[in-house]
Structure formats: C-alpha cells, structure tokens
Structure 1
Amino acid sequence: MESTEEYVSRVKAGDGESFRPIVEIYQQQIYVYCCRMLGCKQDAQDAVQDILFKAYTKLDLYESRATFSSWLYKIAYHHCLNMLRKRHIRDRVYRLFKPATFTESAEQNLDRQWFSPPLEYALSRLSVEERSILILRVFEEEPFAEIADILGKSTDAVKKKYTRLKQKVIRLIAEKEGEKGCNTKESLVKMKL
C-alpha cells in the first residue's frame, strides 16, 4: 500500500487520478471533524467537498515539512471557521426579520442530538479555537504538535490551552448535569479528558 506522500507526489506530477485514494483515506475523518465543528451534517457534507476541492487545487502549496493530514486539517479548520462566521452573520440578519418565529426542522433536531446534552452545552460555550482543540485532541487523537501546526500556534501554547480547556469542559458538563439532573458519567469526553 502506498503512502499519502506518494499519492501527493503523483498528483503534483500531473496524475489527477492519484487524488482519489487521498479522498478515500481522509473524507470520513474530515467529515466527522466538520460535523463536530459545525454541528450540522448537511453543512459538514458541503464543507468536506469544498475542503477536498481546495486541497486538490492548492496541492502545489503543500510542503512535506508538515504531515499531509495536518495540512488538510488546517484547511478544514479555516473553512469551518469561515462557515461559522457566515452562519453567525446570517443568523443575526435572520433574527432581525423573523424574531422568535423559528421552529426547528427534523434535520436540525437530529443534528442537535449528535452529542449528549451536557456535552453539546459545553461545546456550544467554547470558542471556535477551543472547540477545534478539543475535537482534534479528544476525538481525532491528534498530537499537540499537529494541533499547533493546524492552528498556527506553538506546541506549548496549545498544551497550556488544552489543560485549561479540560477544566472548563468538565465544569460546563457538571453545570449542565446539575441543571436538568442529567447524568453522563459515561461521557466519551469525560473518559478521555
């Protein structure tokens, strides 16, 4: 089996078909990352297509000083960040014209239930950068050096932020559990934190 780097070299040499195995390797990982960042399956599906297309068209900018996966996650992080900014602006404009008349669709209801209520609550209280660090470290199990490269920060800064982030998430989950009597002692995040 060939490595991702070999496929990348082939694509750079003009063999566009060699990008297909790269898509097969990373499509599901990027989809899960986007689902967790965006909180919506449809938006995540759209984002994955855009991210992979952007990676293909910008592949000449990839340098092997970083791993291909961290380069791809960096593209995904910035793409999701832009989508969240656009969504925030769109939602603010929407509320101006349709205050308090919004009802949740069946798809949005399913998306809302993607995580346990306490974890969903905790994730919603995190900044985009904090959410990305948590997702990359806990769910994607990326090393700190990769996360630092993706976010454009130093490894030490990411480690410190993650240490503070763990306490924040545990506090937010406990806050939500106490609010409605929820009990998620078996929560994936709590076990991995």
Structure 2
Amino acid sequence: MTRTHRPASSRYDPRKLSDEELVQRAHEELFHITRAYEELMHRYQRTIYNVCARYLGNERDADDVTQEVMLKVLYGLKNFEGKSKFKTWLFSITYNECITQYRKERRKRRLVDALSLDPVEEASDEKAPRLVEKGGLDRWLVHVNPIDREILILRFVAELEFQEIADIMHMGLSATKMRYKRSLDKMREKFSAKTET
C-alpha cells in the first residue's frame, strides 16, 4: 500500500518539529499558511537581533535589519534547497544584510561630514560605545578588526560551528579558526592589561 502525500493543511504542533521539518512544511504551505515560518522566526528572531545589534552597534539599525532578514527568509524559503543547514542559510542572510546596512550607514556618515553637518548629532559612532558599556562580549569586540568581530559574533551569539562560519564568510576552515584564536588572544591581552591597571 503506497503512502499518500499528507496535505499541507493537516494539523501539527510546529514546536515539536525540527528546523528541517519546519522548512519542509514551509515549502508546502507558504504563502497560504505561515505557521512553520512563524515558528522558525520565533526560534531565531532574538539571536538574529543580537547578531545585528553587535555588528551594527545600535538598536534602531538592528531592528530594521532583523525585519529585513525575516522578510528575505519568508520570500526565500520556497527556493531554499537545503544544501546547507537552515541555521547556516539564515545567518548567511543576516551577515549579508548587516554588511549592506553597515556600508549604507558609512556612506551616509561620509556624506554628512562632507556637507559639514554636525557630525556628533547626525552621524557619529556614539551609539556603539553605549551598547558596549553594557559589558560582556560587547565591551571587547571594539578591540578587534571587523572580520574578526564577525567571526566572534557568529561563534558566540549565533552559536555556529567553525565550518558554518567559514561557509558564510567565504573563508577556509583553518583560516577561520586561526583568526578566531588570534582575536580571542588579543581580547585576553587587552583584558589582562586593563585588570592590571
């Protein structure tokens, strides 16, 4: 007896399904039913926001980029083929959106400076230290270069494996691990120097 294809509308508890099962459901359901998609976003929205906030340094941009990521996932899920884990794909989108927003803000700051507007009011980096002052990882991320910071954020905040980070950042696995170790060493040096003073 052959198994009939289960209709997408059949009842299920999305909280009990794995990411991969939810992705499969979303393939079948979107755009008529968004239950599987909503559960995926419920699982990852906070982490997406935290990654964006640490990368961009302010909450307003982090909110905007989080919403943009969620929209991209909604419209991209139908075409997601599952060649990588859902989580890797999701944070690849997040990483790319953060880079786009960061470049946009940098261009805006340069324009503001060129027009001689008040740089403190209009386009300063003053928001970043406020986030950093909250302590924890944020305080030390300012001491490493942007690429290393991205590796640390994807590792500690998104909790990705090194191979996943390497894939997202288009780097070799050994280069990713080496940069991760060096940046941690650098942060440790800064920390021990500050505690000794």
Bin of the TM-score, shorter chain as denominator length? 0.7 to 0.9
Cα deviation 1:39-91 (Å, max 9, x = unaligned): 11111011011001011112233232311111100000011011111111110
2:29 partner SS: coil
Match of 1:79 among 97, 109, 115: 97
Task: Find the counterpart in structure 2 of residue 188 from structure 1.
Answer: none
**Which runs of structure 2 are paired with 1:41-190 in the superposition (5 Å)?**
41-98=59-116, 102-103=120-121, 112-116=129-133, 122-173=140-191, 177=194, 183=195
- Normalising to structure 1: TM-score of the pair? 0.78
CA RMSD of aligned residues (A): 2.9
Task: Find the counterpart in structure 2 of residue 28 from structure 1.
Answer: 46
Cα deviation 1:151-190 (Å, max 9, x = unaligned): 1222212111111211233344556x3xxxxx49xxxxxx
- Normalising to structure 2: TM-score of the pair? 0.77
% identical equivalent positions: 28
Cα displacement (A) at 1:33? 0.6
CA distance in 2, matches of 1:109, 1:90: 15
Structure 1 residue runs of 4 or more that deviate by more than 4 Å after TM superposition = 108-111, 117-122, 172-175
Mapped contact 2:48–2:91 kept (Cα < 8 A) = yes
Mapped contact 2:165–2:176 kept (Cα < 8 A) = yes
Cα displacement (A) at 1:99? 5.5
- Relative distance call for 1:58 and 1:117 in structure 2 (3 A) is closer
Task: Find the counterpart in structure 1 of residue 11 from structure 2.
Answer: none
Cα deviation 1:11-46 (Å, max 9, x = unaligned): 212333121111111111100110000111111011
Larger Rg computed on CA atoms: 2
CA distance in 1, matches of 2:163, 2:110: 36
- Relative distance call for 1:59 and 1:92 in structure 2 (3 A) is same
Cα displacement (A) at 1:3? 1.1
